[in-house]
Structure 1
Amino acid sequence: MQKYQKFLLFGDSITEFAYTTQPFSLGAALSNVYTRKLDILHRGYAGYTSRWGIKVLEDILEEHGHNDIAIATIYFGANDSCLGGPQAVPLDEYIENMKLLVDMLRKNNIKPIFMGLALFNRELWESIKPEEIKLGHIRTVDNLQLYSNSLKKLAKKENVPFIDLHKSFTEVGRDSWKDLLLDGLHFSSKGYEVWYNELIAAIKENYPEYDPDNMQTMYPLWRDVKPDCSNI
């Protein structure tokens, strides 16, 4: 019996919403390009931080055995970098948590990819979320960038592929970068398309064995099936 390995999308709300945007959906695009090659294991948790992510990943790895998951994205930081409230995680702890997440994946023979934080439209976000601002759940452009840059340094030290979405959104969006964001923080369809393109490029460069163009499909194409079905 042939068994599909999995591609884990792991993170907070930006990961959770990977299937929700139209006309382009990150989750749907990955499911399509990896059809009959890898199963997409979608595990995003709105509002979660790297601290809480450790607990969740323990359960995911317990459920999915050794070598069951082939590759994984890790995307936390938009909540960790809050200046106050229950989501705020100090920078030093955030980096320690992200390193632990990588260690947990690698112990299970899973190829990790770090997602750096993207751009942030604070004005729009705060106009939509006044109740959170009153509670002190404040995000700033500078602090998001500080967390992302620190994660980039960790990625280099640990030899983990790092997708710099801040840079990508800036280069692709240019004067229209706000169109890549739905509410100032979460991604629009165009934003998820940028993520998808950068992700596939990173896989091709760092993990070519999981480049969808290099992977064989599970089970033969129907034209190649032998009359006696012996090759199925």
Structure 2
Amino acid sequence: MTQFKKLLLFGDSITEFAYTTEPFSLGAGLSNVYTRKLDILHRGYAGYNSRWAIKVLKKILNDPTSKDIVIATIFFGANDSCLGGEQKVPLEEYLQNMKQLASMLQEYGIKPIFVGPGLFNRELWEAIKVEEVEMGRIRTSDNLQLYSNSLKILAQENNIPFIDLQEAFIKRGGDNWKELLTDGLHFSSSGYQIWYDELLAAIKENYPEFYPDNMTMQYPLWRDVKEDMSNL
């Protein structure tokens, strides 16, 4: 039996926290639906931007434990879009970096999916993160939307699937969209549920061979194990 193929979750804190929410978490949801089909390789780095991600991805791809990645999400922008501070990455460089990240994956035969930044509740964030604001790490909804929309265009131009979380949050959250966020930026359990749903929909549409229902479970169900164990 061959080694399990892998789905890479690569991004900033929103990716890093993918296993932390209850009653639903993105990481646990994916691990469950891909049981005995794909392993989930969780690589989230709080506070990171697309510039730093390039260096990190090189190391991930050269790590023996990262072999057999077949599909990956790339989720940066919440930090890049800061108006100031060391995390800020200008829009044009952000787009170049994201394109490079996708190309790096494709060089290894890995199928990329871009994830655009979600909605932002600035009032709540700045009430909680006073020190962040004082240090110039200021975010705005308009700039997050600009980075998301620009990434969407880049994805379309390069035939890369794009998950528009801003659109999905508005559509699914409606007037209660703020409940999809825990602190104004990071996702609540409900926010991760939307990302999970959108991710599986994107995989089904663009990479159907890796949609859970289309994949064969490794090793037979216990009822189907032959007495002589020849099918194990």
Q: Please classify the TM superposition score into its range, dividing by the shorter chain length.
A: over 0.9
2:61–2:67 CA contact under 8 A, matched in 1: no
Instruction: Point out where structure 2 has 5 or more consecutive residues left out of the alignment.
Output: none
- Alignment correspondent of 1:84: 84
2:178–2:184 CA contact under 8 A, matched in 1: yes
What is the alpha-carbon distance in structure 1 between the residues aligned to residue 111 and residue 224 of structure 2? 32
Identity %: 70
1:177-204 superposed Cα distances (whole Å, 9 cap, x missing partner): 0000000000000000000001111111
Per-residue deviation, 1:2: 2.3
What is the alpha-carbon distance in structure 1 between the residues aligned to residue 216 and residue 175 of structure 2? 41
The residue type paired with residue 176 of structure 1 is: N
Find out whether 1:230 has 2:230 as its counterpart. yes
Within 5 Å, which residues of 2 pair with 1:82-231?
82-231=82-231
Per-residue deviation, 1:32: 0.1
2:120–2:185 CA contact under 8 A, matched in 1: yes
The worse-fitting range, judged by mean Cα deviation, of 219-228 and 46-55 is: 219-228
Per the normalisation by structure 1, the TM-score is 0.98
What is the alpha-carbon distance in structure 2 between the residues aligned to residue 34 and residue 70 of structure 1? 13
Tell me the number of residue pairs that the alignment of Structure 1 and Structure 2 aligns: 232
- Alignment correspondent of 1:27: 27
User: Tell me, what secondary structure is at the counterpart of 1:19?
Assistant: coil
Query: Alpha carbon RMSD of aligned pairs, Å?
Result: 1.1
What is the alpha-carbon distance in structure 2 between the residues aligned to residue 89 and residue 2 of structure 1? 41
1:30-87 superposed Cα distances (whole Å, 9 cap, x missing partner): 0000000000000000000000000110011001489610100000000000010100
- Alignment correspondent of 2:71: 71
The residue type paired with residue 38 of structure 1 is: L
Per-residue deviation, 1:29: 0.3
The residue type paired with residue 200 of structure 1 is: L
The residue type paired with residue 46 of structure 1 is: A
